Amino acid sequence: MTVLNLRIKIGPAFALLIAMLALPAYAEGPAAAAISGVVRDAKGAPQVGALVELLGPNLAVLANAFTDDHGRYTLQTIVPGTYNLKASGSFFLPTLRQNIRVAADSKMVVNLTLDTLYEAFRWLPAKPRQVDEPQDDWAWTLRLSANRPLLRMLEDGPLVVVSDGDGSTPALKARVTIRGGASQFGDGGLHHDFEMERSNGDGQQLILRADLSQAESASLNTVVGYAKQLGPGRTMRTVAAFEDRPDIEGGVRDQGLQAVVLRSSETMDLLPDVISAEFGNEIEAIHLGDNQFANHPFAGVSVHAGDNTVSYHMSTSPGAQHADEIDRAETLAPALTEQNGKLLLEDGLHQEISYERHKGRVTWRMTAYQDHINHPVVSGGGTLSLADWNSGNLLYDPNTDLLKATGQNFFSNGVLAEIRDHIGDDTWLSLAYAMGDALTMESLSGPVTLEEGIGSLHPRRASMVTASINGKSKHAGTQWRASYRWQPTDTVTPVDSFNNQLSDPYLSFYLRQPIRCHILPYRVEALIDVRNLLAQGYRPFVTQDGSTLYFAQAERSIQGGLSFSF
């Protein structure tokens, strides 16, 4: 009898415990929540009769609903917790939204998009970022692809599309950098850089960059960029930049450079997975005593056949080359010089035909190009005399003692061979060889004037070899790049000068190292950027007043600083 009584007392307790453990997430209760939304296809059309399933952490189905004739669905009486939401329909890939956190008494709106397999692959970027580019520069390609669906396999087998956001909660990133050192022309002093990126799940991105430098006078450089997916295979980008460099000096004591640069571009698939095209334009307005206006269009078309790609590309300015690069900071500064007191911009006509092949981890590319280059910019340095300042044939930056002069126009044709190898999970190797024309400076004996030194510049045939290796440490988070680009030291302009994908001249390296600091609520990184470390390629000469000047393909530049990401 005692045993019987014990069973009577314990039985309900066990039953209650078992009921609590077995209680489904989808149940009625005072703290229950609801999820609703609309299921559409990639073109925005509502999908009738699509199946929407509420999944638990183990992907078990807890509840489901079908969309009505407006594509709407509702899942009610959901217990607070973390769930997954899956939508599927005929002729579409299923879409999975992960880690949806449902609060008590909340009414969430989660809109879902169904893509076909064809559309999912078309969202991937057509032109990947070059492996030897600095990885700290947020490129349009990475930003756009980061917000598009990715393909993966679920535990139960079906291929699904994973989307991280629906556009209701825009992603916001911000970074502040403090840097300084021996910099390049127009980039001296201590710099305070600010970058902000806002991304929506519907393919819209907004970037804002501001660079305030403090030398003898405060300089300002601001960039605003906007990108939007116009539809499958179509992307529009727009960039506006303003630069104010009050210390830059021209002839006859003209001082203070202001420049406005407007760029726009569009990429599109003319024939999906076969033919893609891009086109864009750059407008520049510059003031430095004189005013200069310029218009620089560019365009290209690529034909894809499996692992092979044949491309044609044309451009009229070294800065504006490709649609997904129009916001790169190093290309936005005008390639500006002065001659006889008149401002001149480096431009011309660059045309190239290339063949590219991917095989495993290796990519190789052969390019034949032809250039007509007008007003090529030649870099130099040294202390100028009063006569040199008033000659009207150069621009001078007193903060870095660097100058820009104009070389003679010239024609060049040549070839470029490149190979890139993914030699490890996070390490890439790149080699390139180019042949073409570059401006060279003859050795001058005895005192000469600056004009005579510039007048000795002339084009000649030259070769160029580049090698770079870069990577990222998974555990330490270190980003690094080391490169060497060699060509004859008497040349003062690069071979294939319209190609801004090649490594920096001579020996250069870049390092970005996270600093573990648990006290701070944001990520801190130390960075160092060294270019032409050995100061190679300088062509010095002595002017008639005893001043020593030089021309060089690239000045030595050393920068370091700290970056704070939020």
H helix or E strand, kind and range, residue 263:
strand 255-271
Task: With a cut of 70, say whether residue 296 has pLDDT above it.
Answer: yes
Categorize the per-residue pLDDT at 382 as very low, low, confident or very high, splitting at 50, 70 and 90: confident
Alpha carbon of residue 138 to chain centroid: 4
Q: What pLDDT, on the 0 to 100 scale, is given for residue 521?
A: 58
Pairing of strands 72-78, 557-565: unpaired
Q: Is the dihedral of CA 516, 519, 522, 527 positive or negative?
A: negative
Of residues 155 and 269, more confidence is placed in 269
CA distances to 81, 103, 108, 388 from 112, in Å: 20, 20, 13, 66
Instruction: Report the C-alpha gap between 530 and 164 in whole angstroms.
Output: 37
Give the whole-angstrom CA distance, residue 247 versus residue 264: 29
What SS3 class is residue 529? strand
**Three-state secondary structure call for residue 372:** strand
CA 196 to chain centre: 13
Report the pLDDT averaged over residues 217-240.
86
Full-model pTM: 0.70
- Give, in order, the Cα–Cα distances in Å from 158 to each of 92, 478, 497: 12, 36, 49
Pairing assessment for the beta strands 107-109 and 33-41 based on DSSP bridges: parallel
Residue ranges and CATH numbers for the domains of the chain are: 25-114 (2.60.40.10), 171-565 (2.40.160)
| Ramachandran quadrant class, 209 (left: phi over 0; alpha: psi -120 to 50; beta: rest) | beta
Is 82 or 122 the better-scoring residue by pLDDT? 82
**Beta carbons of 352 and 312 less than 8 angstroms apart:** yes
393 backbone dihedrals φ, ψ, rounded to 5°: -120, 20
| Of residues 16 and 508, more confidently modeled | 508
At 187, is the pLDDT very low, low, confident or very high (cuts 50, 70, 90)? confident
Q: Where are the alpha helices (DSSP H) in 232-375?
A: 329-332
Separation CA 475–CA 281 (nearest Å): 42
Quick check: 256 pLDDT over 90? Answer: no
Q: How large a percentage of the chain has pLDDT more than 90?
A: 30
Provide the pLDDT confidence category of residue 33 given band limits of 50, 70 and 90: confident
Confidence of residue 4 (pLDDT cuts 50, 70, 90): very low
pLDDT at 292 over 60: yes
Q: What percent of the chain has pLDDT over 70?
A: 82
Q: What is the pLDDT of residue 56?
A: 87
- Counting Cβ atoms within 10 Å, is residue 141 exposed (0-12), middle (13-18) or buried (19+)? buried
Q: What gap in Å lies between CA 474 and CA 479, rounded to an integer?
A: 9
CA angle 42, 101, 107 (to 5 degrees): 75
- pLDDT, one tens digit per residue, over 323-343 is 888 888 888 888 888 888 888
Q: What is the pLDDT of residue 27?
A: 46
Distance of alpha carbon 182 from alpha carbon 401, whole angstroms = 10
The one-letter amino acid code at 171 reads A
Window from 69-73, 150-154, 488-492, 560-564 with minimum mean pLDDT: 150-154
Token reading at 351: 């045309």
- Confidence check: pLDDT of 564 > 90: no
Classify residue 189 by its DSSP letter. Answer: S
Measured CA to CA in angstroms, residue 323 lies from 282, 327, 333, 530 at distances of: 11, 9, 17, 28
Q: Which residue has the tokens 């002093």?
A: 189
**Residue 472 CA neighbour count, 13 Å, CB half:** 13
Q: Write the burial class of residue 425 (CB in 10 Å: 0-12 exposed, 13-18 middle, 19+ buried).
A: exposed
What is the predicted pLDDT for the residue at 188? 80
Instruction: Tell me the DSSP string of 496-520.
Output: TTT-TTSPPSEEEEEEEEEE--TTS
Burial class (CB in 10 A: 0-12, 13-18, 19+), 470: buried
Which residues are within 8 A (CB) of 504 and not within 5 positions of it... i.e. 6 or more apart?
483, 485, 531, 532, 554
Look-up of token digits 């590309």: 313
∠496-498-501 over CA atoms, to 5°?
Answer: 85
Q: Taking a C-beta distance cutoff of 8 angstroms, is the pair 432, 365 a contact? A: no
253-270 per-residue burial string, b: 16 or more CB within 10 A, e: under 16: ebeebbbebebbbebbbe
C-alpha torsion sign, points 247, 253, 258, 264:
negative
pLDDT for 279 equals: 94
Helix ranges restricted to H, 22-128? 117-122
Q: In the structure, what pLDDT confidence band is assigned to residue 456 with cuts at 50, 70 and 90?
A: confident
Task: Please tell me the distance from the alpha carbon of residue 446 to that of residue 134, in angstroms, as a whole number.
Answer: 43
Q: Quickly state the pLDDT bin for 432 (edges 50, 70, 90).
A: very high
